[in-house]
Amino acid sequence: NAGVTQTPKFRILKIGQSMTLQCAQDMNHNYMYWYRQDPGMGLKLIYYSVGAGITDKGEVPNGYNVSRSTTEDFPLRLELAAPSQTSVYFCASNLRGLATDTQYFGPGTRLTVL
Amino acid sequence: KQEVTQIPAALSVPEGENLVLNCSFTDSAIYNLQWFRQDPGKGLTSLLLIQSSQREQTSGRLNASLDKSSGRSTLYIAASQPGDSATYLCAAWNSGNTPLVFGKGTRLSVIA
């Protein structure tokens, strides 16, 4: 049981490049989330999904896209990377939705846009 | 809009000391409040989740309390150990489609 896994761990992008951050969970959770954490700040919700095929915007969705074709995977796509997207990105999941029960977090992807 | 504040931003204590971490929130109509631990370079680990109908939750040496009327929660750590060194974040949830709102965290150092 690996829990929530994320790849890559680190990435440096140039301005204008695109990339996909991968997230997978093996706990059969319906709900999955993407957060970003800027230095010295709390986490902000980017997008979330309530099940395969269903996604919704969080607090800071601009510049990102998501898809959820399977229960296990929830990739985050960055189009036209900007320095403001330099951050640590966390994927999380839980069973009963939003914050009604514990969210399980992945180890994070540290992204730098230069 | 819910706002969550954690003071102090950093705290250093000697091993064995009992300590309290503070969390305040502006909207008292919360559904639950959660405490997380974050180790450097790692993800978050859930410590305690307090429902709005509860006053406190306990897990081992950790005790979290919730006072909705004053907009405060505290995390009490008994007999602190160097392994408790980490950043502790609290987060409030107001139910519905609202996201968890996180504080910036308190960075705790327990000195041996």
B34 touches chain A (CB under 8 A): yes
pLDDT bin (cut points 50, 70, 90) of residue A42 is: confident
The beta-carbon neighbor of A58 closest among B9, B34, B99 is: B99
| Chain B positions in Cβ-Cβ contact with residue A59 (cut-off 8 Å) | 99
Question: Is residue A106 within a helix (H) or strand (E), and if so which, with residue range?
Answer: none
| Chain B positions in Cβ-Cβ contact with residue A95 (cut-off 8 Å) | none
**How far apart, in whole angstroms, are the C-alpha atoms of residue B72 and residue B70?**
6
Averaged pLDDT for residues B55-73: 95
Q: What amino acid is encoded at B100 in this protein?
A: L
pLDDT value, residue A98: 63
pLDDT digits (tens, 9 = 90+) for A61-100: 999 999 999 999 999 999 899 999 999 999 999 988 766 6
B88 alpha carbon, distance to own chain's centre: 6
How many other CB atoms sit within 10 Å of the CB of residue A63?
14
DSSP code for A99:
T
- Chain B, 80 to 99: residues with Cβ < 8 Å from chain A are 89, 91, 93, 95, 97-99
pLDDT bin (cut points 50, 70, 90) of residue A102 is: confident
**How far apart, in whole angstroms, are the C-alpha atoms of residue A112 and residue A88?**
9
Q: Do B43 and A108 touch (CB under 8 A)?
A: yes
Averaged pLDDT for residues A98-110: 85
